[in-house]
Amino acid sequence: MIGFRQKELSSVIEIDRKKCKGCDSCKAFCPTGAITGKYGAVHGVDNEKCLFCGQCLVNCPFGAPRDTADSVNAVIAKLKDSRAAVVGVIAPAVRVAIGEEFGLEPGTLTTEKLYGAMKQAGFKIFDNNFAADQCIMEEGSELIAKIRHYALGEPAHSHHLGPLPQFTSCCPAWVRHAELNYPEILPHLSSAKSPQQMAGALAKTYGARDVFKVEPENMYVVGIMPCTAKKFEASRPEFASAAAYWRKQGKTGLYPDVDTVLTTRDLARLLKKMNISLTAAAGFTDADNPLARYSGAGTIFGNTGGVMEAALRTAYFVITGQELATLEFASVRGLKGVKEASVAMKDAKTGKEITLKVAVVHGIKENLAPVVADVAAGKSPYHFIEVMNCPGGCVNGGGQPVNPMGTSWIDKYKAILPWS
């Protein structure tokens, strides 16, 4: 396998030879052309090109692609193990989709039921929305340091500053895409980890010490994600910073920050296997757990434009010293392929005017290339660019409940024309 490091998952999606009809539907959704096999022949996945985004899986009319990284039984075994403290890191987009697996309408908010069902299963809760808020603090501070340095002419911060524009780094499929196909723009990626990995590192340090009060080596952190690419992300070897932190404090042990990842579908399967019904579960708010507290900005990370909107709310406050009068940014919401916004603000420190220009890209198969080409050529007009692999963002991720008609029909005509 070219392009993988030790311990990294090198395959997540596999196409079932018996179910594949060779209809080429998946090719209309695959962002990197990783599907092999001509029209009519049984298709396969080229793992060296695959981003593990799972868009083929959620759009195949025959249900042929499968997610092979299945850890449902391993997690159930850990939940039954009394020595293990199993922490479920719940991503934003899971709460609006898992209800579909239990007969609820798409979009039904199930946060409290989901906490309740997971508590019943034996999970401790770490809401990834908390980590999303934290991600805004880290990624936003990095962006503001860059703006202060490059646009307002202040001396550089101690943090190593990459060039502007800054790309978001929350989407593991986008990060892998950049690493594989656009290595020249890697310095533009925010150095902030994705919320899942921040959550893992924080859970096994601060969480273990101050919140859950367990030994970090006994913790088993499970990402509950709308995403198949998160399974790959969790397996990246550098994401073992909690263990490195504790080694400096004299403890021993080698463990990853996030031990395993379940998709929304996997979690529904786990609950059903344990005879827990989401709809019948008692609601639970986990009010005493600081790691289950989140802001509205953290929750909209699941939508395209959500990370940007959350970042703008905080960046505006940090630069101007005032809260935004209107928190909603309609221009970064919705399903347009590339969305733009510009926000004029006055720096409270220096009194200089600055117009922050941002762009939001989702559905990278159709919309990414021109934006990245501009950045590579050094003529991008933006300061901050959000990229999400899946059309619509994480709510339509490859780990979400599957609708037989497919869920990614934004450029519908392209998918039904035989030559596309």
Partner 1 sequence: MANYDYVEKAIKVSRREFLGLAGAGAALLWAGAYVTTDIFVDRTKYIKLRAAGMYKDDAKAKIRQSHNNPAVAEMYGKFAGKPLSPLAEELFHTTYVNRAKLGGKS
Q: Which residues belong to the active site?
A: 139, 142, 170, 190, 230, 233, 238, 394
Min dist CB 313 to partner 1, Å, is 5
Beta bridge partners of 337: none
Closest to 392 (Cα-Cα) out of 251, 240, 226, 220: 226
Compute the least distance from the CB of residue 32 to partner 1, in Å: 12
CA atoms of 74 and 222, how far apart (whole Å): 11
Query: Distance of CA 24 to CAs 48, 59, 367, 406, Å?
Result: 20, 11, 21, 14
For the bound state, the minimum distance from the C-beta of residue 202 to partner 1, rounded and expressed in Å, comes to 7
Copy the structure tokens of residue 178. 């950049």
SS3 call for 167: strand
Q: Measured between alpha carbons, how far is 364 from 41 in angstroms, rounded to an integer?
A: 26
Q: Which residues pair with 45 in a beta bridge?
A: 35
Please, which residue, 92 or 165, has the CB nearer to partner 1?
Answer: 92
Nearer to partner 1, 254 or 405 (CB): 405
Nearest residue (CB) to partner 1, 102 versus 239? 239
By beta-carbon proximity to partner 1, the closer residue of 75 and 310 is: 310
- Minimum distance between the CB of residue 211 and partner 1, rounded to whole angstroms? 9
Q: Is 357 helix (H, G, I), strand (E, B) or coil?
A: strand
Let me know: does 237 contact 8? Beta carbons within 8 Å.
yes
Minimum distance from residue 74 beta carbon to partner 1 (Å): 25
Question: Which residues have a Cβ under 8 Å from the Cβ of 180 and sit 6 or more positions away?
Answer: 3, 32, 49, 51
Query: Which residue, 75 or 309, is less far from partner 1 as judged by CB?
Result: 309
